[in-house]
Amino acid sequence: MVKKNQTLGEFIIENQAEFPFSSGELSRLINSIRLAAKVVNHEVNKAGLVDITGAAGETNVQGEDQQKLDVYANEKFIQTLTNREIVCGIASEESEDFITISGQNNDHKNKYVVLMDPLDGSSNIDVNVSVGTIFSIYRRISPIGTPVQMEDFLQPGNKQVAAGYIVYGTSTMLVYTTGHGVNGFTLNPALGSWYLSHPDMKFPEKASIYSVNEGNYVHFPKGVKNYIKYCQEEKEDRPYTSRYIGSLVSDFHRNMIKGGIYFYPTTSHAPQGKLRLLYECNPMAFIAEQAGGKASNGFSRVMDVEPTELHQRVPFFCGNKEMVEKVEEFMAKNP
């Protein structure tokens, strides 16, 4: 039973039925994520005070300049999950290859893998705007007792057992799903506890926000250009409102609460789009669907895309169902 304001710890215990094959492993995994999130939150909160803003001086496998907080968050999540020996492997936006965790006695007995975007919206760190963390959890498919394999990470989104995000915003929230709806917990920083503040989150029926980097407009496919014009038209309940933070987590979170669509299409510079299928799009798609929304690559369901590479990118259209269906109509006419 969902009780508003219960703690995340109480919620996990009371909702054990959500956790398939309940050996407690998935609960412990979510527990570790909430711990790492608190550590990262602490660092994000004092970003202006300590020497943690700015570039780390390295480039990641995505070709992006790593920020110090990208590196810090990556290390903290990896450390927490590794120390507690709960998963058999981790893949991250910030690490070129996946990490194998052999577990107690080197027995490779753990069942789950985690894929993550440790710090989403890095470009917003230095200007005190919300950033986030995204995670996605799968059961391994390779035999237990053997080292984790690439195939364990390259599973389609429809195989996720859990996914979630943390938004380090005006307050810090952890939002996640195990396939039984979406629940949001707000951190009370004084106590270090997460409270169920947003039970059973759903996209509202009425939606009027579109979120896209319109600076790329001239490089978008014709269907996307036409859809943007449609959003701006003075007809029926339009024009829609444009809102774009540039942190997927924050843009998505606002749209799920207020009603809207986020999209990052292909551009002539980024023929597969910018967002990463495994670390960003699949987890957000799982949450969107569980909240009554939809996520598409412009033509079909994102969670049915068969991944071929760890750092694969995909065009992404995600939010209120009707809005995503509308943009798909435009794309079908002018791909």
Contacts with ligand AHG by CB under 6 A lie at: 64, 93, 117, 120-123, 213, 246-248, 274
Residue numbers 188-247 binding Mn ion by CB under 5 A: none
DSSP string, 106-146: G-----EEEEEEEEE-GGGGGGT--EEEEEEEEE--SPTTS
Binding mask 82-101 for Mn ion (x = CB under 5 A): -----------x--------
Query: Which secondary-structure segment (H or E) carries 262?
Result: strand 260-264
| Least distance (Å) between residue 74 CB and ligand AHG | 11
**Beta carbon nearer to Mn ion, 19 or 176:** 176
| Least distance (Å) between residue 52 CB and Mn ion | 15
Tell whether residue 213 is among the known ligand binding residues: yes
DSSP string, 153-216: HS--GGG-SEEEEEEESSSEEEEEESSS-EEEEEEETTTTEEEEEE-S----S---EEE--GGG
Distance CA 81, CA 23 (A): 17
117 binds Mn ion (CB under 5 A): yes
3-state SS, residue 296:
strand
* Other CB atoms within 10 A of residue 263 CB: 25
| Least distance (Å) between residue 274 CB and ligand AHG | 6
Tell whether residue 41 is among the known ligand binding residues: no
Tell whether residue 183 is among the known ligand binding residues: no
- Enter the tokens of residue 101: 């965790």
Tell whether residue 282 is among the known ligand binding residues: no
247 binds, among Mn ion, ligand AHG, none (CB under 5 to 8 A by kind): ligand AHG
Tell whether residue 123 is among the known ligand binding residues: yes
Query: Which secondary-structure segment (H or E) carries 274?
Result: none
Distance CA 29, CA 112 (A): 9
120 binds Mn ion (CB under 5 A): yes
User: Taking a C-beta distance cutoff of 8 angstroms, is the pair 165, 287 a contact?
Assistant: yes
311 binds, among Mn ion, ligand AHG, none (CB under 5 to 8 A by kind): none
What are φ and ψ of residue 313, in 5° steps?
A: -105, 160
| Least distance (Å) between residue 143 CB and ligand AHG | 33
Question: In this chain, which residue has its C-beta nearest to Mn ion?
Answer: 120
Q: Summarize the annotated binding site for substrate as residue ranges.
A: 120-123, 213, 244, 274
Q: Summarize the annotated binding site as residue ranges.
A: 93, 117, 119-123, 213, 244, 274, 280
Site for Mn ion, rule CB under 5 A: 64, 93, 117, 119-120
